[in-house]
């Protein structure tokens, strides 16, 4: 996949309100919105079509509100009940405008005995695996493998620890969100997925951070001038995998 030019794709949809120069000057203020916009592009461009989808931890941002371009028959979401969710994620949005049947299980996404083996075509984990510890991450991947039909896809994105440790080095040195239990490097997550039994079809980066990687110092302007999607995941703020169950 070719690089997607940054100024055409990651900036143009924000410059209806601000010029590029102003957006660069306010990159720190708007970096979360820029990450969100890049992730919408990721969902739109990279996620495969599927009839039956399982979404692990995405109740506050359903795929059909995140740019997913394909029609589906059923979307099953698994997430914590509202009272157990961080304030930032308490708004659960199951809209009537979904293109297929939508349901939600309020449950632990690392243990899903209520769902049948080989019953989904696509399992999606959007920025959720980092919210469980390493043991939970292993169980989550095992459950995804069990629940996928053969040939089905497990797609996920998560912050890249190689970049978040630079981001937080002058801040507090920890993870980028207080609820994160473990943030993965690209190689670490690849090894976990392969050990689970998945084949890696695609491994991309979301929000290329060229100046940060070059200097070892965090540059918020990278969210504006870097490519929203890159074939070099190690140099991106978030990493994306499309895995297939053989």
- b/e per residue 25-44 (b: at least 16 CB within 10 A): eebeebbeebbebbbbbbbe
Domain count within the chain:
1
DSSP annotation of 40 reads: H
Residue 75 lies in a domain: yes
Residue 155's pLDDT band (boundaries 50, 70, 90)? very high
Residue 141 lies in a domain: yes
Residue 55 lies in a domain: yes
The C-alpha angle 81, 240, 107, rounded to 5 degrees, equals: 15
Residue 52 lies in a domain: yes
Residue 170 lies in a domain: yes
What is the domain-level CATH number for residue 174? 3.40.50.150
- Per-residue pLDDT of 57-84, as tens digits, reads 988 888 998 999 999 999 999 997 776 6
Query: What is the distance in angstroms between the CA of the first residue and the CA of the last residue of the chain?
Result: 23
Would you state the pLDDT for residue 6?
A: 38
- How high does pLDDT run on average in the chain? 89
- Per-residue pLDDT of 29-40, as tens digits, reads 989 999 999 999
Residue 1 lies in a domain: no
- The size of the chain, in residues, is 246
Residue 49 lies in a domain: yes
The range of the structural domain enclosing residue 201 comes to 6-244
Burial class (CB in 10 A: 0-12, 13-18, 19+), 98: middle
Residue 225 lies in a domain: yes
| Overall pTM > 0.85 | yes
């Amino acid at each position: 996949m070719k690089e997607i030019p940054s100024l055409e794709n990651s900036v143009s949809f924000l410059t209806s309100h601000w010029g590029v120069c102003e957006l660069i000057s306010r990159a720190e203020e708007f970096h979360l919105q820029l990450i969100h916009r890049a992730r919408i592009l990721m969902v739109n461009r990279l996620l495969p079509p599927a009839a039956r989808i399982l979404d692990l931890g995405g109740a506050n941002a359903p795929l059909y509100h995140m740019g997913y371009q394909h029609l589906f028959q059923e979307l099953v979401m698994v997430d914590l009940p509202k009272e157990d969710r961080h304030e930032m994620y308490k708004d659960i949005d199951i809209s009537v405008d979904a293109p297929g049947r939508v349901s939600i299980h309020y449950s632990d996404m690392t243990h899903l005995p209520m769902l049948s083996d080989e019953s989904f075509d696509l399992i999606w984990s959007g920025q959720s695996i980092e919210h469980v510890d390493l043991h939970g991450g292993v169980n989550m991947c095992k459950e995804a493998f069990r629940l996928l039909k053969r040939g089905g896809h497990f797609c996920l994105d998560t912050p890249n620890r190689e970049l978040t440790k630079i981001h937080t080095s002058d801040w507090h040195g920890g993870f980028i969100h207080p609820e994160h239990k473990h943030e993965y490097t690209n190689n670490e997550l690849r090894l976990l997925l392969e050990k689970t039994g998945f084949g890696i079809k695609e491994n991309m980066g979301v929000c290329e951070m060229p100046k940060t990687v070059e200097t070892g110092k965090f540059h918020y302007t990278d969210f504006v001038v870097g490519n929203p999607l890159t074939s070099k995941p190690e140099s991106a703020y978030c990493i994306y995998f499309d895995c297939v169950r053989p």
